[in-house]
Chains A and B, each alone.
Chain A
Amino acid sequence: MSDETAVDEIEVEEAPEDEIIVLAQKWKKKKGSLIMALHELQGRLGYVPRESAMKLGREMGVPLANIYEVLTFYNYFKLESPGKYIISVCTGTACHIKGSPKLLHGVEAELGIKEGESTPDGEYHLQGVRCLGCCGLAPLASVNGKVYGKQDVTDAHGLLEHVKHDQPMHVAAESADAE
């Protein structure tokens, strides 16, 4: 099941309420697909707001209790808006050997937050993630889905400048803003 196809079926301009109905219609026929629906929802919004989870539950006929069991079981899911730029520093084996902990600490120092936290202005969210599957580019970070490979682990500042310059705005971030 590919996420890209899923996202393509929904118009970005649609109001989130309607999006959830469409999303629920799509997934509710298939048993055990709650996690896919949540995955898609987070893909759209960058996180899973409580209201959206409730709406999705109503539309899919799944109690909120179940939805929260899934949302809190997996670290991947977020209940709060993570920020405009979601910076994921890879801490997989290859990146680790290439010094990614240093990069992670560097970004922490630059932003004044710890891993797993967001900046008070809601601009940045920093997380360490396991292997992103492109070890040839180690050490790397990904920001809103865009990969920044072969980083200089001593230059977190450079990475952030690069990110800001690129403004690789995620569709999700846009739709969250539009809300």
Chain B
Amino acid sequence: MTNMINATINGVPVEVAPGTTILDAARKVHVKIPTLCKHPDLEATGACGICIVKVKNTGKMLRSCCTPLDEGMDILTETPEIVEVRRGILELTLSRHPNECLTCLRNQNCELQALAADFGMNASDLPNIVPDLPLDTSTRSIVLDPRKCVLCGRCITVCQQHQNVWALSFLNRGFKTRIAAAGDIPLADSPCVRCGQCSAHCPTGAIVEYDETVDVWNKLQDPDAYCVVQIAPAVRVAVGEAFGFPIGANLTGKIYASLRRMGFKAVFDTNFGADLTIIEEASEFKSRLLEGTGALPLITSCCPGWVDFMEKFHGDMIDHFSSCKSPHEMVGALSKTYYAEKMGIDPAKVFVVSVMPCTAKKSEIIRSKEMSSSGYQDVDVSLTTREFARMIKQSGIDFVEIPEEQPDHMLGAYTGAGTIFGATGGVMEAALRTAHYYVTGQDAPRVDFEMTRGLKGVKEGKITVAGKEIRVAVAHGLANVEQVIDKVRAAREAGEELPYHFIEVMACAGGCVGGGGQPYGATNELRTKRAAGLYQEDQAGLWRCSHHNPYIKELYAEFLGEIGGHKAHDLLHTGYQVLPEYKR
């Protein structure tokens, strides 16, 4: 046991492990030091200075986010002098921030606004000088408004270090410093994969989701449109945060009810699509494993951020990719074919909205011609959880009290395997359950594959199916993918046995529960709680394997035919191409 550090904060004794910052030590004794540039996910940069504290013994002012507590330190966090310094920093920050709170997507959910309110920032003698910089809406997934940037650098850290995408950086210096796409070009031409982690980590409205709620409202009012909707696994355990529910509360039934109240004529569930993805993908895996019909390891392709990343940075891995479309695309394609046919509706009138934890889904829906496999664009609009929460509020629905409802089962009934798609490792676990059945003809004695769960960056494990060892890897957060892919590449080049048979990748830390379109403030603690909400539903469910879903069986019997067959291929599968990192 290393020696603990003993010190006092505002006169309260505190004991912490060496290396603990003053900021974290203060939290331990229930002292909340204000922060702006520091995000719990990210290493401190000390950019803003709001978290300044005073060392009583020496009179020094220090940034608590990046200063470790030393033995014997006597820290003061809230003297009039400190408050004055913080107000000064805030006043300077506000002097170059546009006063547009009322027309900003972050209104009432902004870290700068909250600090300004806490510190009672009223009139200032400083002129408001806002840099004249254009909005970047080029990705149509995220919107960059560099005028609102406070130069904290969080988005850059997450884009460069956590995602290894390097689409964002600071340009210039001093007063002219600004956030921009790498190489000062439109974001859509940069390596950006639209994961939206920048927006999820931004403290202000400088990077937000591309809002498409108005399009959806308009369609809902259009008497010619037949609006249907689907919700992703991770949305159900996160949207409640906008309404004061405990983190991780599973609100599936309330979401269905709210969507019907908004005017959607059918309410589907992307979990059904997840089950369907598993049917096709596990079958694809089985034939690659047993019949050698394609490259191993098989790599999952549900995550559009990861698909984009692979196409830009790992083009040599295309053969390893599952050809399965992502679950919401499958539900979209079936809404305009199977559902429309069965209900006798003109598919041209069907308008499919998907509610996703994700900003990249907004780009995925137009990524290739296969996304229009029904003859129409399969998914018309993809909304993030944050947009959906706003829509509930706008529609005047009492989300807390509204009674739960059921989905439209045809494309809405699902198993626990579909639910856990929303967490890192969930796709792998769901696939293993069904792959086991496909290989052996019977269900695994235990369908919980704990090795795939949790927040470790790369998880590895193996199971034995019919005497054959299957090695798997699960990576989340794009920077973690590199080591897995490198291992595969090295083995391939050396002609050695492959390190894995099956790899799951999700672009965002924690998987979709930590997606770039989810409610703000994601930390590992919060990601764990959201994931727990999904695993609880899986445990409690009647069906836990995708191949048990009776509505999936009906779908194949009535409409699709063979698993992996001709029709399934046309509607449920896609292809990939090598993309340049930079479009110019």
Q: Footprint of B on A, CB under 8 Å?
A: 50, 53-54, 63-69, 72-73
**B binding-site residues for A, Cβ under 8 Å:** 160, 166-173, 180, 182-184, 582
A54–chain B nearest beta-carbon distance, Å: 7
Q: List 13 A-B contacts (CB under 8 A).
A: A53-B183, A54-B582, A63-B166, A64-B183, A64-B582, A65-B160, A65-B168, A65-B169, A65-B182, A66-B169, A68-B171, A69-B169, A72-B171
The chain B residue with its CB closest to the CB of A79 is B184
Q: How far, in angstroms, from A69 to B156 measured CA to CA in the complex?
A: 12
Chain B min CB distance to A1 (Å)? 24
By beta carbon, the residue of chain A nearest B183 is A64
CB distance from B448 to the nearest CB of A (A): 41
B167, B172, B173: the one within 8 Å of A65 (CB): B167
15 new A-B contacts at CB < 8 Å, known A63-B166, A64-B166, A68-B183: A50-B183, A54-B582, A63-B160, A64-B182, A64-B582, A65-B166, A65-B167, A65-B183, A66-B166, A66-B169, A68-B184, A69-B171, A72-B171, A72-B184, A73-B173
Shortest CB–CB separation between residue B165 and chain A, in angstroms? 9
Query: From B180, which residue of chain A is reached at the shortest CB distance?
Result: A68
Assembled-state Cα–Cα distance A152/B172 (Å): 35
How distant is A50 from chain B, measured CB to nearest CB, in Å?
A: 6
- Complex interface: chain B residues within 8 A of A69 (CB): 169-171
Q: Using A50-B183, A63-B160 as known contacts, say yes or no to A68 and B169 having CB atoms under 8 A apart.
A: yes
Chain A residues with CB below 8 A from B167, complex form = 65
- B-side contacts of A54, CB under 8 Å: 183, 582
Chain A nearest CB from B187 CB (Å) reads 12
A58 to chain B, nearest CB (A): 9
Among A53, A63, A64, A72, which residue has its beta carbon within 8 angstroms of that of B172?
A: A72
Q: How far is the CA of A65 from the CA of B184 in the complex (A)?
A: 9
Q: A63-B166, A64-B166, A65-B167 are in contact. Are A72 and B173 (CB under 8 A)?
A: yes
* Chain B residues whose C-beta falls within 8 Å of the C-beta of A63 in the assembled complex: 160, 166, 182
Q: Which residues of A contact B170 (CB under 8 A)?
A: 69
Q: Which residues of B contact A64 (CB under 8 A)?
A: 166, 182-183, 582
- How many A-B pairs fall under 8 Å by CB? 36
Chain A residues whose CB sits within 8 angstroms of the CB of B169 once the complex forms: 65-66, 68-69
Closest to B159 in A: A65
B residues less than 8 Å from A65 (CB atoms)? 160, 166-169, 182-183
Residues of A within 8 A of B182 (CB): 63-65, 68
B478 vs chain A, min Cβ distance (A)? 14
Chain A's nearest CB lies how many Å from the CB of B171?
Answer: 4
A72 contacts which chain B residues (CB < 8 A)? 171-173, 184
Residues of chain A lying within 8 A (CB to CB) of residue B172: 72-73
What's the least CB distance linking A138 to chain B, in Å?
Answer: 28
* Residues of A contacting B173 in the complex (Cβ-Cβ under 8 angstroms): 72-73
A67 to B171, CA, bound (A): 10
Q: Which residues of B contact A73 (CB under 8 A)?
A: 172-173
Complex Cα–Cα for A58 and B184 (A): 17
Kindly list chain B residues whose C-beta atoms are within 8 Å of the C-beta of A68: 169, 171, 180, 182-184
In whole Å, how far is B163's beta carbon from the nearest beta carbon of chain A? 12
Shortest distance from the beta carbon of A152 to any chain B beta carbon, whole Å: 35
List of B residues within 8 angstroms of A67 by Cβ = 183
Please give me the residue from chain B that is nearest to A54 by CB atom: B582
Residue of chain A at shortest CB distance from B167: A65
Q: Shortest 9 CB-CB distances between A and B: which pairs? A: A65-B182, A63-B166, A65-B169, A65-B166, A72-B171, A64-B183, A72-B172, A64-B182, A73-B173
Nearest A residue to B169 by beta-carbon distance?
A65
CB distance from A19 to the nearest CB of B (A): 21
Residue of B nearest to A51 (CB): B584
Instruction: Specify which of B160, B169, B172, B180 lies most central, judged by the most chain A CB atoms within 10 Å of its CB.
Output: B169
**A-side contacts of B582, CB under 8 Å:** 54, 64
Which residues of B sit under 8 angstroms from A53, Cβ to Cβ?
183
Cα A65 to Cα B161 in complex, Å, equals 12
Closest approach, in angstroms, between the C-beta of B184 and any C-beta of chain A? 6
Q: Which of B170, B172, B183, B582 has the most CB of A within 10 A?
A: B183
List residues of chain B with CB within 8 A of the CB of A50. Answer: 183
**Bound complex: CA A147 to CA B184 (Å):** 34
Bound together, the chains give a CA A67 to CA B170 distance in angstroms of 11
CB distance from B578 to the nearest CB of A (A): 15
Kindly state the separation between the CA atoms of A65 and B165 in the bound complex, as whole angstroms. 10
**Separation in Å of the A85 CB from the closest CB of chain B?**
26
A66→B183 CA distance, assembly (Å) = 9
Complex Cα distance, B167 from A73, in Å, reads 18
Q: How far is the CB of B246 from chain A (nearest CB, A)?
A: 39
A54 to B581, CA, bound (A): 10
User: What residue of chain B has the Cβ atom nearest to residue A50's Cβ?
Assistant: B183
Q: With A and B bound together, what is the CA distance between A66 and B156 in angstroms?
A: 11
A67 CA / B184 CA spacing, docked (Å): 11
Task: Kindly report which residue of chain B lies nearest to residue A69, judged by CB atoms.
Answer: B169
**Alpha-carbon distance between A65 and B168 when the two chains are bound, in angstroms:** 7
Q: How far is the CB of B508 from chain A (nearest CB, A)?
A: 20
Expressed in whole angstroms, the minimum distance between the Cβ of A35 and any Cβ of chain B is 14
A69 to B171, CA, bound (A): 5
| A53 to B, closest residue via Cβ | B183
CA gap between A63 and B182 in the complex, in Å: 8
The CB with the most chain B CB atoms within 10 A, among A53, A66, A72, is that of A72
> In the complex the two chains form, what is the Cα distance from A67 to B173 in whole Å?
14
Nearest-neighbour CB distance to chain B for A78, whole angstroms, equals 14
Complex-state Cα separation, A121 to B172, whole angstroms: 27
In the complex, what distance in Å separates the CA atom of A72 from the CA atom of B184? Answer: 10
How long is the Cα–Cα vector from A105 to B160 in the complex, in angstroms?
44
* Chain B residue at minimum C-beta to C-beta distance from A58: B581
Q: Which residues on the B side are within 8 Å of A66 (C-beta)?
A: 166, 169
User: A67's closest neighbor in chain B, by CB?
Assistant: B183
The closest CB in chain B to the CB of A71 belongs to B171
Which residues on the A side are within 8 Å of B183 (C-beta)?
50, 53-54, 64-65, 67-68
CA distance A102 to B161 in the complex (A): 49
Question: Please, how many angstroms separate the alpha-carbon atoms of A129 and B123 in the complex?
Answer: 40
A-chain residues with CB within 8 Å of residue B168 when the two chains form the complex: 65
The CA of A69 and the CA of B172, in the complex, are separated in Å by: 7
Residue among A50, A53, A65, A69 with the highest chain B CB neighbour number at 10 A: A65
CB B387 to nearest CB in A, in angstroms, measures 29
Chain A residues, Cβ within 8 Å of B160: 63, 65
The distance in angstroms between the C-alpha atoms of A59 and B172, with both chains bound, is 24
